[in-house]
């Protein structure tokens, strides 16, 4: 078929390889190795003269199906899967960067990405520099000198800050840098970084792709030459491979990705509107609300506002903990993109280790809550949030009366 299929179709059909048995659902190849018909065939395989699976650290048919499906969806030449999202980020950076190379990154990164950049890379003599992702002038200054790579996350965790991918990619390319976008919060459906000038896209498949809280996974998507010559030797020899079982679970997750993400976006938008009306809340961040500081960029760069809402509860940590503890339906958890709604208090969990100064720079307060909005009925979600906010107010009134 030469016709380009639309995303909903690619998510169900892309990359499927049927075995001789004609199974409907993708087969799970739980095998570590593969056998050869002859010693000659093994030799030819190792000489790269023929295509034949060798060992599941390098490639596996269930992974191939998921890789081809994700590459088609993203519009990338090639995809390689990893055991986790962090393995994907780490392999992307470490396969490419050498001692003396320079990396420029947006400050608002997932906690472990932050650790790699501030702690691990300097150990290998790589120079790293953070900028405020939303400030193009800072990108301009940082990229006025040559750089090797740029890493950015948009929207960011947890403050949903956006980076202008088109503008930063231009600056980065002029500085000689490859642009890597961590596209987890946007999902492959709401933002297309490769069309906006990025070179490489990374995902944690743990989030929306599985989306049902079952398995970990990561993906790197990029140009054929870079994947084959830079990334592949690194992953073949260092071994961050995804399990075929996890790849199969994620393949099945993708079949409902569009349905889930579309509904979660509708729920998130409704939750954001509800929260913005409540007096217990001092700030609501949702990229597709007109009051988001980068709303214009959001609607230009994304096709939906995403599945997360970040907000501040008035009254600091005490009031915020009271609110979270009063939630009955929404769970307290640090995961996101799940069909179950999950609330996180970044200052004491995901962003505890970066310290108060860095949190202040990112705008994370003791009242900040990151809500990953799931698939529950929106009326039930809003009732749960309303009851928990009433509990905060009730306590405050009771105290004031004392």
Tokens of 97: 């960067």
Interacting residues with ligand PLP between 72 and 111 (CB under 6 A): 84-86, 89, 110
DSSP letter at 347 equals: G
* Residue 153 or 161 having the CB closest to ligand PLP: 153
Backbone angles phi, psi at 111, to 5 degrees: -50, -50
Q: Which stretch binds ligand PLP (CB under 6 A): 70-78, 93-101, 144-152, 202-210?
A: 202-210
* CB-nearest residue to ligand PLP: 85
182 binds ligand PLP (CB under 6 A): yes
Q: Is residue 207 within the footprint of ligand PLP (CB under 6 A)?
A: yes
Per the listing, tokens 């090797």 go with 148
Q: Which residues pair with 146 in a beta bridge?
A: none
Given the complex with ligand PLP, which of 108 and 388 has the nearer CB atom?
108
Size of the site for ligand PLP (CB under 6 A): 16
Give whole-number Cα distances, 317 to 308, 346, 347, 367, in Å: 21, 11, 9, 5
Is residue 341 near ligand PLP by the rule CB under 6 A?
no
Under the binding rule (CB under 6 A), the answer on residue 204 touching ligand PLP is yes
Closest CA to 105 of 158, 166, 149, 170: 149
Smallest separation (angstroms) from ligand PLP to the CB of 217: 7
- 164 vs 210 by CB, closer to ligand PLP: 210
- CA atoms within 13 Å, Cβ hemisphere of 205: 33
Residue 206 touches ligand PLP, criterion: CB under 6 A = yes
The distance from CA 347 to its chain's CA centroid, rounded to whole angstroms, is 20
Cα–Cα distance list, 60 to 5, 33, 67, 315 (Å): 25, 9, 10, 52
Per-residue x/- track, 108-137, ligand PLP (CB under 6 A): --x--x------------------------
> What is the length of the chain?
402
Tokens of 295: 């709303």
From CA 366, how far away is CA 388, in angstroms rounded?
17
Would you say 156 and 108 are in contact if contact means Cβ atoms under 8 Å apart? Answer: yes
Q: Please, what is the minimum distance in Å from the beta carbon of residue 377 to ligand PLP?
A: 26
Q: How far is the CB of 50 from ligand PLP (least distance, A)?
A: 34
In the set 66, 78, 184, 200, which binds ligand PLP (CB under 6 A)? 184
Residue 243 touches ligand PLP, criterion: CB under 6 A: no
Interface contacts to ligand PLP, rule CB under 6 A? 84-86, 89, 110, 113, 153, 157, 182, 184-185, 204, 206-207, 216, 218
């Amino acid at each position: 078929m030469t016709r380009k299929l639309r995303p909903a179709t690619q998510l169900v059909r892309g990359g499927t390889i049927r075995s001789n048995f004609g199974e409907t659902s993708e087969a799970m190849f739980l095998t570590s190795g593969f056998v050869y018909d002859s010693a000659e065939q093994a030799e030819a395989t190792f000489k790269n003269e023929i295509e034949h699976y060798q060992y599941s650290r390098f490639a596996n048919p269930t992974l191939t199906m998921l890789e081809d499906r994700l590459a088609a969806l993203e519009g990338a030449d090639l995809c390689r899967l990893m055991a986790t999202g962090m393995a994907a980020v780490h392999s992307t950076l470490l396969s490419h960067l050498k001692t003396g190379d320079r990396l420029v990154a947006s400050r608002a990164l997932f906690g472990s990405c932050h650790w790699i950049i501030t702690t691990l890379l300097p150990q290998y003599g790589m120079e790293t520099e953070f900028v405020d992702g939303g400030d193009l002038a800072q990108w301009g200054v940082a990229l006025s000198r040559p750089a090797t790579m740029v890493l950015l996350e948009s929207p960011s965790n947890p403050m949903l800050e956006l980076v202008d991918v088109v503008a930063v990619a231009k600056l980065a390319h002029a500085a000689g840098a490859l642009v890597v976008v961590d596209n987890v919060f946007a999902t492959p459906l709401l933002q297309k970084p490769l069309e906006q000038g990025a070179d490489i896209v990374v995902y944690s498949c743990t989030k929306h792709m599985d989306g049902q809280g079952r398995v970990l996974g990561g993906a790197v998507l990029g140009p054929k030459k870079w994947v084959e010559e830079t990334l592949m030797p690194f992953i073949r020899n260092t071994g961050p491979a995804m399990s075929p079982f996890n790849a199969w679970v994620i393949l099945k997750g993708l079949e409902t990705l569009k349905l889930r993400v579309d509904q979660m976006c509708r729920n998130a938008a409704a939750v954001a509107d509800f929260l913005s009306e409540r007096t217990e809340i001092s700030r609501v961040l949702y990229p597709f609300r007109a009051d988001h500081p980068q709303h214009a960029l959001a609607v230009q760069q994304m096709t939906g506002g995403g599945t997360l809402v970040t907000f501040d509860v008035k009254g600091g940590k005490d009031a915020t903990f009271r609110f979270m503890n009063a939630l009955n339906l929404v769970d307290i958890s640090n995961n996101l993109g799940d069909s179950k709604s999950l609330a996180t208090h970044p200052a004491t969990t995901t962003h505890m280790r970066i310290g108060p100064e860095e949190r202040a720079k990112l705008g994370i307060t003791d009242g900040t809550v990151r809500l990953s909005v799931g698939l529950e009925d929106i009326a039930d979600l809003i009732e749960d949030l309303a009851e928990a906010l009433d509990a905060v107010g009730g306590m405050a009134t009771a105290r004031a009366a004392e």
